[in-house]
């Protein structure tokens, strides 16, 4: 489904060069915006198809910002090399981790392979985790969401992504990439103006994040606070921190509880993280916190991995990207997300995705017996 033309009336973003100096601000009619939701089920990779299409159509540049980009069993590299052979400028920035050497080990062969073919590929700052999954083509086409570049992500997982074709949106994410590439991205240097949410307008809000920005959480808390009917969440990883009540993750959980107390239909679908005991325990703790306070929670089908990070509010506001709900994701990582405000046509396919997962899911109390 494509959302074009007059459907999107306004969008706004504010991107700071320095903490108080604005590089660009935009609010106006969007006559040429295209939004294409991408929902992937096991065995279906619409994301792969549209990345291939974007690479095949690229004219000037391709920028890739990825946490996990495996070399083996990944057909997307052939399309990237074909674009490079046509003269397209390509930059690839992958995560190098000083806390998880396995991430660096997985990404290193990819960087060496790309460099051997003449492509400019490098690691990010190892002190900051790049958890983003971002593709920017010709500084105009943006593909982002939850999909890493590996076989499991492409073939076995539930994913939520989106394609946005728009010059202004593209420039926001391209500028973000530029600053990561040149190591000039300032911690807490991206500030989002939430004032437009006070008016009845349709918005597209890009959310490039780095250390100390917290814009994703600020926006989500604002949306949850003004929700009137429903909140539907699909989340891979979620944490509740009893010792840190002021954490952003805790604030989000409290906002869900408050929404349920107001009588809203609040439902949260969480991955059971069966392959990662620490994450499974954290998800269960958060689920117990929510269910004990009136929020409906289900875990996904234990035979599948639900890797999406998706929130739909009142069936017309959609927030999706790479951001999980824990301390590092919300406050310390390089993450990318995007919000579609007042756009029920964008929300509709994601609502159907949520309902399908919800029907297949199991209750938190039942899963507690599986993961004590």
| Cα 299 from Cα 365, distance rounded (Å) | 10
Question: What predicted TM-score, i.e. pTM, was given to this entire model?
Answer: 0.91
157: tokens are 């997982």
d(CA 277, CA 223): 32
From residue 51, give the alpha-carbon distance in Å to each of 75, 151, 201, 339: 11, 15, 30, 20
pLDDT at residue number 152: 95
Percent above pLDDT 90 for the chain = 81
Separation in Å, CA 132 to CA 27, 128, 172, 190, 338: 26, 12, 15, 16, 12
Mean pLDDT of the region 208-226: 96
Cβ-based burial of 180 (10 A; exposed 0-12, middle 13-18, buried ≥19)? buried
- pLDDT confidence of 91, banded at 50, 70, 90? very high
* Token pair belonging to 21: 């100096």
For 250-257, the CB contacts below 8 A with 24+ separation are: 251/217, 251/221, 252/217, 252/220, 252/221, 252/224, 252/325, 252/330, 253/286, 253/289, 253/290, 253/325, 255/220, 255/221, 255/224, 255/225, 256/224, 256/231, 256/290, 256/295, 257/290, 257/293, 257/294, 257/295
Mean pLDDT for the stretch of residues 209-228: 96
Q: Average pLDDT of 35-40?
A: 97
pLDDT tens track for 224-275: 999 999 999 999 999 999 999 999 999 999 999 999 999 999 999 999 998 8
Residue 190 predicted with pLDDT over 80: no
- In the chain the domains, ranked by start, together with CATH numbers, are 5-370 (3.30.870.10)
For 172-176, 300-304, 341-345, which range has the lowest pLDDT when averaged over its residues? 300-304
Residue 281 has pLDDT above 90, yes or no: yes
- The set of residues, in sequence order, having a beta carbon less than 8 Å from that of 279 and lying 6+ positions away, is 237, 273
Q: What is the mean pLDDT of residues 117-126?
A: 96
Cα separations (Å) of 167 from 32, 66, 139, 172, 345?
Answer: 9, 22, 7, 9, 21
Residue 53 reports pLDDT greater than 90: yes
Mean pLDDT score across all residues of the chain: 89
pLDDT at 304 over 50: yes
Enumerate the β-bridge partners of residue 317.
Answer: 313
Q: Is the dihedral of CA 51, 186, 89, 140 positive or negative?
A: positive
């Amino acid at each position: 489904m494509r959302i074009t033309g007059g459907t999107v009336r306004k969008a706004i973003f504010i991107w700071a060069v320095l903490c108080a100096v604005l590089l660009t601000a935009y609010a106006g009619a969007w006559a040429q915006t295209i939004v294409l939701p991408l929902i992937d089920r096991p065995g279906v990779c619409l994301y792969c198809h549209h990345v291939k299409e974007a690479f095949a159509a690229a004219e000037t540049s391709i920028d890739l910002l990825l946490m996990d980009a495996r070399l083996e069993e990944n057909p997307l590299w052939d399309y990237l090399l074909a674009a490079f052979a046509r003269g397209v400028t390509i930059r690839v920035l992958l995560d190098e981790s000083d806390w998880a050497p396995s991430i660096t080990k997985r990404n290193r062969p990819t960087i060496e392979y790309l460099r051997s073919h003449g492509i400019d590929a490098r690691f990010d700052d190892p002190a900051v985790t790049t958890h983003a999954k971002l593709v920017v083509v010709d500084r105009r086409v943006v593909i982002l969401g939850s999909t890493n570049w590996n076989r499991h992500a492409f073939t076995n997982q539930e994913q939520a992504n989106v394609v946005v074709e728009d010059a202004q949106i593209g420039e926001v994410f391209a500028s973000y990439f530029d600053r990561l590439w040149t190591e000039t991205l300032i911690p807490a240097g991206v500030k989002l103006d939430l004032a437009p949410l006070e008016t009845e307008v349709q918005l597209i809000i890009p959310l490039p994040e780095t250390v100390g920005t917290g814009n994703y959480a600020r926006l989500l808390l604002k949306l949850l606070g003004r929700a009137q009917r429903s909140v539907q969440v699909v989340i891979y990883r979620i944490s509740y921190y009893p010792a840190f009540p002021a954490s952003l993750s805790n604030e989000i959980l409290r906002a869900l509880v408050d929404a349920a107390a107001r009588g809203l239909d609040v439902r949260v679908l969480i991955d059971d993280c069966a392959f990662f005991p620490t994450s499974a325990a954290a998800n269960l703790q958060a689920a117990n916190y929510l269910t004990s306070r009136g929020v409906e929670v289900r875990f996904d089908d234990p035979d599948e991995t639900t890797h999406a990070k998706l929130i739909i509010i009142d069936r017309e506001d959609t927030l999706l990207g790479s951001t999980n709900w824990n301390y590092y994701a919300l406050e310390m990582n390089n993450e990318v997300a995007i919000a579609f405000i007042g756009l029920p046509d964008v929300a509709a396919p994601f609502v159907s995705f949520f309902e399908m997962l919800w029907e297949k899911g199991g209750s938190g109390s039942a899963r507690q017996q599986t993961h004590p």
